[in-house]
Structure 1
Amino acid sequence: MSAQDVEIEVIGSLSQIEAADWDACACPETATGGAPFDPFSTYRFLSALEQSGSVGTGTGWQPQYLLARSNGELIGVAPMYVKSNSQGEYIFDHNWAHAYENAGGRYYPKLQVAIPFTPATGRRLLVKADVKETAQSALIQGMVQLAANNELSSLHITFCTEEEKEAGAQMGLLSRTSQQFHWVNDEYGSFDAFLASMSSRKRKNIRKEREQANAFGGEVRVLTGAQIEPEHWDAFWQFYQDTGARKWGTPYLTRAFFDIVHETMRDDMYLILAERDGVPVAGALNFVGRETLYGRYWGCIENHPCLHFELCYYRAIDIAIERGLKRVEAGAQGEHKLARGYLPVTTHSLHWVGDKGFSEAIEQYLKAERSAIEQDIEVLTDYGPFKKANVQEHE
């Protein structure tokens, strides 16, 4: 079988496909039990975005899910959207858009293969393992052809795996390197064991921050599964709105999203709440995969010293150590994470631009950007909080 033997189909809603069929491509590892590697590419997460109105008409994210079939069998899918802006992507191309439109072109709409509002690395070409190369090639060819046929400026596959980046680059797509800060579990038996790997000054700073945070006048509760009650989302919605208003002007997710994931994904979540006199005053929401804890949303209605660090970073490390998870991904940006044990790592994306001249200009830009990021990661890692021997072990 070759990519030419694969039929490509586009659907505008996940209601047009069975959950089991999508997940057979998105998370086949769950067939034998356990959590998916990536909770965000699952049917239930993407469906929650769609059902809640967080994506769709008026959001800038119009679903156009891509399906690949061979002899009637579904062998690959991709979460694809028509984008009318660059909001909620976290791989920034605003400068590309401005340059394209200043030159007389129309940058939007564009095609985006991504998990909306989710800067977490995972597979974007969701294919069955026994036909991986063929299905990946067919999906990429289908995406590019759809963009070209509809005279769209570009295609972007963001926060893909390194393996997908290599496959896409071999097919002529432009590859881009970005940077995040992740915590890596070096088989720590406890938080104190993690601290022991750090320099004395950084170790003392973290202990001081945790003491300050936990002196806010209340208690911190870590909830998962059935421990999460529907009313907890009322409090968390206030936190999320506050953060969304400050960062984006309007929160990306709707209130209904949290009600839906409460029903379908609460076993895949950790909700960390700081309560004072029984009233939640701050919270952080994490999703959990088979090997990784993903810090996603934070907010508060009261400001307390270091409480953000405690709920978002240190409690996440506690959970990862307790569950034996390999890493914590705490979201986009944030060099302040470095002092708290989160080291810089590369993330990857793929891009296709229809205009040849503009594509060549972007390719040159990406080469320079890639070199700068590699140097930045090297410098930041050297300035990391770990003892030198441990820095070398993490690299």
Structure 2
Amino acid sequence: MATSPPFELEWLSRIDQLTASQWDLLFADAPPFCRYGYLNALERSGCVGGQSGWAPYHLCVRRQGQIAALAPGYLKRHSYGEYVFDWSWADAYQHHGLAYYPKWISAIPFTPVTGPRLRVAPGIQSESLLAAITPSLHHHGLSLGLSGMQWLFPRLDESQALARQQWRQRLDIQFHWHNRGYASFEQFTDTLTARRRKAILKERRCRATLTIERFEGAAITPALWQQFFRFYQLTYAKRSGHGGYLNQPFFEALGQALAENLVLIMARRGDHWLAGALYLKDKECLYGRYWGCTEAIDGLHFELCYYQGIDYCIDHGLCRFDAGAQGEHKLRRGFEPTLTYSNHLVFHPQFDEAIASFVGQETERVLQRMQVYHRQLPFKSD
């Protein structure tokens, strides 16, 4: 009986070791964060690589020389910018005199968005490929001195397939807005309790003194990019004491590579810009990512980052609005709890056993929180 040719692992220290057409052939219908243009913009701008602690290490699986699968990947020397929190694991390793870093992750840097992580070529079965390469991934990780490997924010089907190959599955919760065929923002708020609808309309009063404008694609000029980046830096500096993970060359490269996927919503008083929020989009979903302002105005953050996004989804028939990680306050504004996933292969046998126990207990707590959140949704009861 004939056997299939073996899969071979190739590791790329730069995404431009492949062409855009080679990468996007597998990720063409994925969220824009998975596309070549986005990942290459991160590398070209220096947001990853160098001293960032994110060393590009993308996985290319070949069979008989042909690309069989691709996955974005990075060697990490810290856990910043991942949004799957494993600091306690790193502390436990250090307490026992072991090195937790480096580790390998398949993820989109600084971007907690669910999407495909391992894309396979036509005619190849994803789970069969994963079963075939997991031993090789384990062996390669050990040869590099890694503590383990992680897949962050994979789709549910990918996470389940990884779990069946003994990659420990973790759960977390985000809050997403769902478009149920609303014809207007008012029709959406009519589905909410009177108290919550009144609160939202009160928060939107800031529009009365401001002009809010949408810019898409090529309409986002260099001057607008410069103004938006100033907002982004100021907000990060106030919140975190640094200028943010991303730089102006990244945003400019993003504007060139993925113009059709960008929406910039800006607020001004007279001729003076005060705030901006940058979104990415695909055919089904709007992704709220970055925001900043120069003046604190009641309700302005909620307006630019939530309500304008809902307006855009309704106007353009998008099914879902992912406004970013965490944020229980989104519940009160009609965003619904959504499970997210990560999977972890821990090389140290004793730590793997301890982490498996931790993850099991954590899963129970997450599912209990999901039930609580569903009870807190502000929609009218039937």
Residue 237, structure 1, aligned to residue 229, structure 2: yes
* Helix, strand or coil at the partner of 2:153: strand
Query: What is the aligned partner in structure 2 of residue 12 from structure 1?
Result: 13
Deviation string 1:339-385 (CA, Å, 9 cap, x unpaired) is 11111111000001111111111111111111111111111111111
Query: What is the aligned partner in structure 2 of residue 161 from structure 1?
Result: 155
CA shift for structure 1 position 264: 1.3
Go from structure 1 to structure 2 and tell me whether the alpha carbon gap of 1:364 and 1:254 turns closer, same or farther (over 3 Å shift). same
Deviation string 1:74-115 (CA, Å, 9 cap, x unpaired) is 121111100010000000101110011111110011111100
CA shift for structure 1 position 246: 3.4
Consecutive unaligned residues of structure 2, counting only runs of 5 or more, are none
Go from structure 1 to structure 2 and tell me whether the alpha carbon gap of 1:273 and 1:97 turns closer, same or farther (over 3 Å shift). same
CA shift for structure 1 position 146: 2.1
Query: What is the aligned partner in structure 2 of residue 310 from structure 1?
Result: 303
* Helix, strand or coil at the partner of 1:302: coil
* Helix, strand or coil at the partner of 1:10: strand
Structure 2: how far apart are the matches of 1:2 and 1:263?
Answer: 45
Go from structure 1 to structure 2 and tell me whether the alpha carbon gap of 1:324 and 1:209 turns closer, same or farther (over 3 Å shift). same
> Contact between 1:68 and 1:135, CA under 8 Å: does it hold in 2?
no
Query: What is the aligned partner in structure 1 of residue 175 from structure 2?
Result: 181
Query: What is the aligned partner in structure 1 of residue 267 from structure 2?
Result: 274
Letter in 2 for 1:10: W
CA shift for structure 1 position 138: 4.5
Structure 2: how far apart are the matches of 1:78 and 1:3?
Answer: 22
Structure 2: how far apart are the matches of 1:108 and 1:237?
Answer: 32
Go from structure 1 to structure 2 and tell me whether the alpha carbon gap of 1:94 and 1:181 turns closer, same or farther (over 3 Å shift). same
Q: Which of 210, 214, 224 matches 1:222?
A: 214
CA shift for structure 1 position 137: 3.6
Query: What is the aligned partner in structure 2 of residue 32 from structure 1?
Result: none
Query: What is the aligned partner in structure 1 of residue 85 from structure 2?
Result: 92
Deviates more, 1:261-270 or 1:82-91: 261-270
> Contact between 1:114 and 1:157, CA under 8 Å: does it hold in 2?
yes
Letter in 2 for 1:20: S
Query: What is the aligned partner in structure 2 of residue 21 from structure 1?
Result: 22
CA shift for structure 1 position 20: 0.5
Letter in 2 for 1:60: G
Deviation string 1:109-160 (CA, Å, 9 cap, x unpaired) is 1111100000110011122243132334455444333212212101111011
> Contact between 1:127 and 1:136, CA under 8 Å: does it hold in 2?
no
Query: What is the aligned partner in structure 2 of residue 386 from structure 1?
Result: 379
| TM-score (normalised: structure 1) | 0.93
CA shift for structure 1 position 218: 2.4
Deviation string 1:11-33 (CA, Å, 9 cap, x unpaired) is 11112111101111122xxxxxx
> Contact between 1:3 and 1:137, CA under 8 Å: does it hold in 2?
no
Letter in 2 for 1:265: L
* Helix, strand or coil at the partner of 2:112: coil
Q: Which of 159, 178, 198 matches 2:192?
A: 198
Letter in 2 for 1:157: W
Structure 2: how far apart are the matches of 1:228 and 1:2?
Answer: 53
Matches within 5 A, 1:314-353: 314-353=307-346
Go from structure 1 to structure 2 and tell me whether the alpha carbon gap of 1:14 and 1:214 turns closer, same or farther (over 3 Å shift). same
Matches within 5 A, 1:128-143: 128-133=121-126, 134-138=128-132, 140-143=134-137
* Helix, strand or coil at the partner of 1:332: coil
CA shift for structure 1 position 276: 1.5
